[in-house]
């Protein structure tokens, strides 16, 4: 009997279709991509509702012809425009008809579509690393097109983005921040930081986390390219910053000190053949453990561990130690380097010499005598 019922359900006439949206590939001026509008709600009034899946596909079990509408307020994202909200009305004929709905400038502003896409992408990543994070229990709200300039922010409940800013001559000072993937992901990073264990405590760490959540998706050291009218990004992670020399007490810059270190590690591990998708979980997992910049190194080693035993090392501990050492001012002097664990045994690592005697900068030469026991007699 159960088999007969299942077969009957399979042949029931249904309305079905797919929803797509046009989005900037990454930032204003990029190629326009058509991507699925995932987890969107289609409202058919008394005819019922349908929700699109991750492929943008939906089905409604009815053979009736119906009028419907959809918005950019879905089960995972709620995008609110400063002005008329996005609205896409449509008609669907009964008898097993399949239709394709397309969001473009006729139904929604670019910032609405770009922000919706970014939230959906972010939720997928968050669920893979922090599946129990309460941030995921409700749609993430975004307000776009706010009449302000050159910024964006997380206010504890929603992410907020500003309109394009023009100078007196009509030239772009900075673009609509709701159209820049990196900026949207950065603000979602602040939300993750708030909802993760410990909450938001360290401003510099919070800015680093926002940047981190952006570049683990873009695989690029340029944060928010084309943010400014001249095409410049907001920050460049490829800067060779050292701890603690470059800590200046400004949260964005201080976060960049750890950001440049972690980007160096990302490049190192990517060059070894590890895919970006494999690196995202261990790079993001320390958010749940580290509460300050100085706690990140130990949290990262814990995230890199593969057997619950740090005493036997971690798969990438040599690369982690080496990169954090390179971004330290002086490994021989307490307080002038990241708080590192003892140097791991790394057979392929180049030899290092650590000086315990301070050499004062003055005219003249220093002659260093040393020997390598492994090469004696070679």
pLDDT of residue 63: 83
Average pLDDT over residues 350-354: 56
Residue 22 bridge partners (DSSP) = 34
Tell me: pLDDT of 373 over 70. no
Check residue 334 and give its pLDDT.
83
Mean pLDDT of all residues belonging to the chain: 90
172 and 208 together in one domain? no
| Cα Rg, the chain, nearest whole Å | 26
Q: CATH number of the domain at 236, please.
A: 1.10.390
Eight-class DSSP state of 21: E
Shared-domain flag, residues 48 and 189:
yes
Are 123 and 184 within one domain?
Answer: yes
Q: Summarize the confidence of residues 226-251 as an average pLDDT.
A: 96
Tell me the mean pLDDT in the region 204-222: 98
Q: CA 342, 343, 347 angle in degrees (round to 5)?
A: 150
Same domain flag for 147 and 275: no
**Is residue 142 classed exposed, middle or buried when 0-12, 13-18 and 19+ CB atoms within 10 A define those classes?**
buried
Assign 3-class secondary structure to 185-207: HHHHHHHHHHHCCCCCCCHHHHH
- Whether 190 has a pLDDT exceeding 80, the answer reads yes
Same domain assignment for residues 162 and 230: no
8 Å CB contact between 39 and 70? no
The single-letter DSSP state of residue 343 is: P
What would the two tokens of residue 188 be? 């979602």
Are both 178 and 215 inside the same structural domain?
Answer: no
CB 230 within 8 A of CB 202: no
Mean pLDDT of 311-325: 93
Structure-token match 């097993």, residue found: 96
| Domain-located, residue 18 | yes
pLDDT exceeds 50 at position 8: no
Q: Is residue 155 part of a domain?
A: yes
Rounded to whole angstroms, the Cα distance separating 266 from 357 reads 34
Residue 7 lies in a domain: no
Residues of the domain holding 235:
201-372
Same domain, 107 and 175: yes
- Looking at the fold, whether 33 and 52 belong to one and the same domain comes out as yes
**pLDDT beyond 60 at 3:** no
Q: Interhelix angle for 251-271 vs 317-326, to 10°?
A: 140
Number of domains in the chain: 2
Which pLDDT does position 377 carry in this prediction? 47
Q: Say if 46 falls within a structural domain.
A: yes
Domain end marker among 195, 227, 249: 195
DSSP string, 86-150: P-EEEEE-TTT-EEEEEESTTTS-HHHHHHHHHHHHHHHHHHHH-TT-GGGGSPEEEEEEES--S
Given a cut of 70, whether residue 378 has pLDDT beyond it is no
Distance between CA 197 and CA 135 in Å, rounded? 12
Q: How far apart are CA 185 and CA 155, in angstroms?
A: 15
Which residues contact residue 277 at a Cβ distance below 8 angstroms, ignoring those fewer than 6 apart? none
Last residue of a domain, one of 148, 178, 195: 195
Query: Which tokens sit at 15?
Result: 């309305």
Q: Residue 318 pLDDT > 90, yes or no? A: yes
Of 139, 172, 195, which marks where a domain is finished? 195
From CA 79, how far away is CA 143, in angstroms rounded?
6
């Amino acid at each position: 009997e159960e088999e007969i019922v299942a077969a009957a359900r399979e042949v029931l006439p249904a309305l079905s279709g797919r929803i797509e949206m046009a989005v900037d590939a990454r930032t204003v001026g990029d190629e326009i991509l058509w991507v699925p509008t995932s987890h969107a709600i289609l409202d058919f009034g008394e005819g019922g509702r349908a929700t699109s899946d991750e492929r943008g596909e939906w089905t409604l079990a009815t053979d009736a012809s119906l009028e419907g509408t959809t918005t950019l307020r879905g089960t995972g994202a709620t995008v609110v425009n400063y002005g008329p909200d996005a609205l896409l009305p449509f008609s669907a004929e009964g008898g097993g008809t399949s239709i394709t709905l397309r969001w473009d400038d006729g139904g929604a502003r670019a910032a609405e579509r770009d922000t919706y896409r970014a939230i959906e992408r972010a939720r997928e990543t968050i669920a893979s690393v922090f599946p129990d994070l309460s941030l995921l229990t409700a749609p993430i709200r975004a307000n776009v097109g706010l009449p302000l300039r050159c910024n964006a922010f997380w206010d504890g409940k929603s992410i907020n983005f500003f309109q394009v800013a023009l100078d007196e001559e009509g030239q772009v000072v900075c673009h609509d921040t709701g159209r820049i993937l990196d900026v949207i992901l950065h603000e979602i990073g602040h939300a993750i930081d708030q909802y993760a264990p410990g909450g938001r405590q360290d401003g510099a760490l919070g800015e680093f986390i926002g940047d981190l959540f952006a570049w683990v998706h873009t695989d690029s050291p340029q944060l928010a390219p084309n943010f400014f009218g001249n095409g410049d990004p907001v920050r460049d992670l490829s800067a060779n910053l050292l701890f603690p020399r470059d800590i200046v007490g400004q949260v964005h810059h201080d976060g960049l000190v750890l950001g440049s270190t972690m980007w160096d590690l990302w490049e190192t591990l990517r060059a070894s053949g590890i895919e970006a998708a494999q690196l995202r979980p261990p790079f993001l997992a320390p958010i749940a453990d580290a509460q300050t910049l100085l706690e990140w190194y130990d949290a990262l080693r814990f995230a890199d561990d593969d057997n619950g035993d740090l005493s036997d090392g971690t798969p990438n501990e040599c690369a982690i130690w080496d990169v954090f050492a390179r971004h330290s001012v002086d490994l021989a002097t307490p307080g002038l380097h990241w708080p590192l664990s003892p140097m791991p045994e790394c057979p392929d690592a180049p030899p290092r010499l650590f000086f315990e005697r301070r050499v004062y900068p003055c005219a003249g030469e220093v002659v260093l005598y040393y020997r390598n026991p492994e090469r004696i007699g070679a």
